[in-house]
């Protein structure tokens, strides 16, 4: 539970807050500690306590003591991205400078630079004092890296302070650009990871049992992310936000705890207006169904003026506390890997392509692990690797050793698959189905829509799917009367050593994300079935039932989340569903539903176990032994 305190909360009643946490059965408090505002008396110069903290009061210390007395752990929150005018007057070299040399000032606070001595020296003094003084269970850091936009959305550009200019010139032999390019993103990546490492070293040295959390993956013990909303964000909403964040964190850095905060507010302007109760509950179930922490955030204290989100979170927290034995140490048991581009390379990857594939896999009930980390391959078995927009050379070796790889992207793989003839940035045409036996899902169509980039491969008379390039679209008398079939493939299958590589050289994921056409889903289903016929899970469940297949010690956990309450910009209570048949690969003896307690009779035949869940409301957990 995170309380994002305001400076006016500095005199809060520790017993009251801890009582509220205990009542909702939260077992970790993430709370404001220092940085911009300290919630305890600090002796470090320019580390000012809140003006609302009485001179004789140590609020953070009081909360820490009260929480520990009730077995609740405390993670302190720091934000070093801004500090006071007094610090700026004394140490101008600590601060972010716009291209014209001006500081960035927001509500009286001056932005610091991650390359400057504030982050590199002063912050370590502040943290040393805090760690010496308080037996915290962890520290969390907000805003790690120079933000080029303030909270109001104003662009402040890139930092041109003396340190940034010197370091950038040393590294890239040029001046800092006006807008971030690949080199600049790499520069900021290195800076944030250097600081992350120095904070981590200090925490681990002074409090070896304390956890270290921030939004970066390196040097930390937990990977933080957020499920949040913003009013100007382009539609559609992303109802799998929490699943996406947690699945990716858990399977990119398997040793670390994913902590995906459910942000209760609508946008920065309305921190005290909450999103729908059902959206809050959905994110919380998604967090734990994917192996992450149950994590929820409020601005201010738990005494909210809009109580809907807290009231929605409470029963979920309490239910999970009663059943906590199922929710620690979960690992993905999925045999399909969805590979997404690494965040560290500075390259941009298509979020739409990735999300389209994420939806296709989820709606098909194919359990999958998301990873941006190639170190996975070879350490854990997968039956199929799907590359969304990024197909690194390691995939070739993986296939040659018997792996099955599906590349879904107009971006050419970083290893040879087929001869590229031309890269079309935008093709508005069709694909014609040539080999019907390969696409049983598409019996009612001969054509698939293509819109967007297409990488033309050398002609193949035997291609199962071939391009029909753009032709006349009007008036009706003229529609496509001039169209011509080609032998340009819409998909290629290639043997690679002991394995197989299939490449769909157009943006099936992005098209599905945008248009949700059943024909594209059918193509995807049939290609997956050809590469990977022995799926782990088959079910008659509605596509809006998300299922995750997890391992916990010797047992398996099947989580079902009902997303049927989501439509357009709304999240409503999900429609109850009945009679969900589940067939799992493997011979299991027992299936027990936990939320609506029941033993589900298991029928074993061949290598498969079948059972039926009689009813699904919002969420169900089935323990399979």
Cβ distance to Zn ion smaller for residue 90 or 575: 90
Rounded Cα distance, 424 and 456, in Å: 7
Q: Please, which of residues 254-293 interact with Zn ion by CB under 5 A?
A: none
Alpha-helical runs (H) found in 421-533: 508-515, 518-531
For 560, phi and psi rounded to 5 degrees? -125, 130
Cβ distance to Zn ion smaller for residue 10 or 143: 143
Cβ distance to Zn ion smaller for residue 176 or 282: 176
Residue 503 exposed, middle or buried by CB count within 10 Å (0-12, 13-18, 19+): buried
Contacts of 73 (CB under 8 A, 6+ apart): 27, 28, 29, 67, 137, 138
Q: Which of 50, 111, 115, 332 binds Zn ion (CB under 5 A)?
A: 115
Cβ distance to Zn ion smaller for residue 35 or 453: 35
Rounded Cα distance, 265 and 312, in Å: 13
Does residue 113 bind Zn ion (CB under 5 A)? yes
Min separation Cβ 165 and Zn ion, Å: 8
Helix (H) or strand (E) holding 183: helix 182-206
Min separation Cβ 158 and Zn ion, Å: 8
Min separation Cβ 162 and Zn ion, Å: 8
Contacts of 590 (CB under 8 A, 6+ apart): 599, 602, 623, 624, 625
Rounded to the nearest 10°, the torsion over CA 386, 493, 507, 382 is 0
Cβ distance to Zn ion smaller for residue 116 or 452: 116
Q: Residues 605, 569: contact at Cβ < 8 Å?
A: no
Q: Which among 233, 330, 298, 261 has a CA at the least distance from the CA of 4?
A: 298
Does residue 334 bind Zn ion (CB under 5 A)? no
Cβ distance to Zn ion smaller for residue 83 or 536: 83
Spatial strand order of the sheet with 109-111 comes to 82-83, 109-111, 105-106
Spatial strand order of the sheet with 465-468 comes to 447-457, 420-433, 465-468
Point out which span in 157-165, 232-240, 302-310, 405-413 binds Zn ion (CB under 5 A).
157-165
Cβ distance to Zn ion smaller for residue 159 or 528: 159
Q: Which of 24, 131, 136, 161 binds Zn ion (CB under 5 A)?
A: 161
CA 439 to each of CA 46, 513, 520, 529, 593: distance values in angstroms, whole numbers, following the listed order: 67, 21, 11, 10, 36
Point out which span in 60-68, 110-118, 415-423, 484-492 binds Zn ion (CB under 5 A).
110-118
Min separation Cβ 125 and Zn ion, Å: 20
Q: Which among 153, 227, 220, 219 has a CA at the least distance from the CA of 2?
A: 227
Does residue 159 bind Zn ion (CB under 5 A)? yes
Point out which span in 112-120, 335-343, 559-567, 594-602 binds Zn ion (CB under 5 A).
112-120
Does residue 563 bind Zn ion (CB under 5 A)? no
Does residue 405 bind Zn ion (CB under 5 A)? no
Q: Which of 164, 295, 407, 433 binds Zn ion (CB under 5 A)?
A: 164
Contacts of 604 (CB under 8 A, 6+ apart): 587, 588, 610
Point out which span in 85-93, 152-160, 339-347, 590-598 binds Zn ion (CB under 5 A).
152-160
Cβ distance to Zn ion smaller for residue 158 or 624: 158
Point out which span in 108-116, 129-137, 249-257, 607-615 binds Zn ion (CB under 5 A).
108-116
Point out which span in 114-122, 148-156, 286-294, 594-602 binds Zn ion (CB under 5 A).
114-122
What is the contact mask toward Zn ion in residues 570 to 609, using x (rule: CB under 5 A)?
Answer: ----------------------------------------
Min separation Cβ 218 and Zn ion, Å: 20
Q: How many residues bind Zn ion (CB under 5 A)?
A: 5
Chain-centre distance of CA 500, in angstroms? 29
Rounded Cα distance, 413 and 503, in Å: 9
Min separation Cβ 113 and Zn ion, Å: 3
Point out which span in 49-57, 109-117, 281-289, 379-387 binds Zn ion (CB under 5 A).
109-117
Q: Please, which of residues 411-450 interact with Zn ion by CB under 5 A?
A: none
CA angle 98, 101, 106 (to 5 degrees): 50
Cβ distance to Zn ion smaller for residue 15 or 171: 171
Point out which span in 33-41, 107-115, 441-449, 537-545 binds Zn ion (CB under 5 A).
107-115
Min separation Cβ 251 and Zn ion, Å: 34
Point out which span in 154-162, 325-333, 384-392, 431-439 binds Zn ion (CB under 5 A).
154-162
Q: Which among 186, 288, 169, 141 has a CA at the least distance from the CA of 227?
A: 288
Q: And the tokens for 105? A: 């000032």
- DSSP helix/strand/coil, 190: helix
Rounded Cα distance, 545 and 566, in Å: 11
Rounded Cα distance, 64 and 72, in Å: 9
Cβ distance to Zn ion smaller for residue 164 or 418: 164
Q: Residues 168, 176: contact at Cβ < 8 Å?
A: yes
Cβ distance to Zn ion smaller for residue 96 or 619: 96
Min separation Cβ 163 and Zn ion, Å: 5
Q: Which residues bind Zn ion (CB under 5 A)?
A: 113, 115, 159, 161, 164
């Amino acid at each position: 539970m995170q309380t994002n305190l305001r400076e006016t909360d500095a005199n809060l009643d520790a017993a009251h807050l801890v009582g509220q946490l205990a009542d909702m059965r939260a077992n970790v408090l993430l709370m404001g500690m220092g940085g911009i505002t300290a919630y305890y008396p600090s002796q470090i110069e320019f580390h000012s306590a809140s003006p609302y903290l009485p001179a004789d009061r140590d609020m953070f210390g009081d909360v820490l003591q009260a929480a520990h007395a009730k077995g609740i752990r405390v993670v302190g929150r720091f934000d070093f991205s801004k500090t006071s005018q007094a610090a700026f007057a004394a140490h101008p070299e600590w601060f972010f400078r716009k291209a014209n040399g001006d500081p960035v000032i927001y509500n009286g606070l001056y932005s610091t630079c991650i390359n400057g001595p504030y982050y590199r020296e002063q912050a370590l003094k502040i943290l040393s004092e805090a760690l010496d003084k308080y037996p915290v269970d962890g520290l969390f850091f907000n805003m790690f890296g120079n933000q080029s936009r303030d909270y109001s959305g104003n662009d402040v550009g890139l930092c041109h302070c003396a340190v940034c200019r010197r370091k950038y010139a040393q590294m890239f032999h040029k001046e800092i650009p006006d807008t971030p390019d690949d080199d600049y993103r790499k520069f900021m990546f290195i800076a944030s990871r250097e600081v992350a490492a120095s904070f981590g070293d200090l925490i681990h040295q002074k409090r070896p049992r304390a956890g270290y959390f921030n939004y970066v993956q390196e040097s930390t013990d937990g990977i933080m992310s957020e499920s949040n909303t913003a009013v100007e964000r382009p539609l559609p909403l992303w109802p799998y936000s929490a699943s996406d964040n947690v699945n990716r964190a858990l399977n990119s850095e398997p040793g670390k705890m994913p902590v995906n905060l459910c942000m209760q507010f609508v946008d920065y302007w309305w921190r005290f207006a909450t999103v729908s109760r059902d959206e809050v509950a959905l994110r919380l179930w998604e967090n734990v169904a994917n192996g992450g922490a149950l994590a929820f955030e409020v601005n201010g204290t738990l005494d909210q003026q809009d109580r809907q989100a807290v009231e929605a979170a409470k029963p979920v927290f309490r239910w999970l506390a009663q059943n906590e034995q199922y929710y620690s140490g979960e690992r993905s048991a999925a045999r399909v890997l969805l590979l997404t581009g690494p965040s560290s390379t500075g390259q941009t990857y298509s979020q739409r392509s990735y999300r389209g594939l994420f939806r296709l896999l989820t709606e098909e009930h194919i359990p999958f692990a998301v990873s941006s980390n190639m170190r996975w391959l070879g350490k854990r078995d997968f039956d199929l690797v799907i590359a969304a927009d990024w197909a690194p050379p390691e995939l070739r070796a993986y296939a040659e050793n018997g792996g099955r790889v599906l590349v879904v992207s107009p971006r050419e793989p970083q290893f040879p698959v087929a001869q590229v003839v031309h890269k079309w940035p935008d093709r508005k045409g069709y694909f014609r189905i040539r080999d019907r036996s390969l696409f049983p899902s598409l019996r009612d169509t001969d054509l698939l829509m293509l819109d967007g980039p297409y990488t033309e491969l050398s002609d193949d008379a035997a291609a199962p799917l071939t391009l029909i390039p753009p032709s006349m679209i009007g008036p009706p008398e003229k529609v496509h009367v001039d169209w011509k079939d080609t032998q340009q493939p819409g998909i290629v299958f290639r043997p690679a050593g002991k394995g197989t590589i299939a490449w769909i050289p157009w943006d099936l994921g992005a098209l599905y994300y945008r248009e949700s056409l059943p024909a594209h889903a059918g193509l995807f289903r049939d290609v997956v079935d050809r590469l990977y016929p022995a799926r782990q899970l088959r079910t008659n469940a509605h596509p809006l039932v998300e299922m995750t297949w997890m391992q916990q010690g010797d047992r398996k956990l099947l989580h079902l989340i009902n997303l049927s309450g989501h439509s357009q910009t709304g999240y409503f209570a999900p429609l109850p569903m009945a009679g969900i048949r589940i067939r799992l690969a493997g011979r299991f003896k027992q299936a027990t539903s936990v939320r609506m307690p029941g033993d589900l009779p298991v029928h074993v035949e061949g290598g498969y176990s079948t059972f039926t869940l009689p009813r699904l409301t919002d969420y169900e957990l089935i323990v399979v032994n």
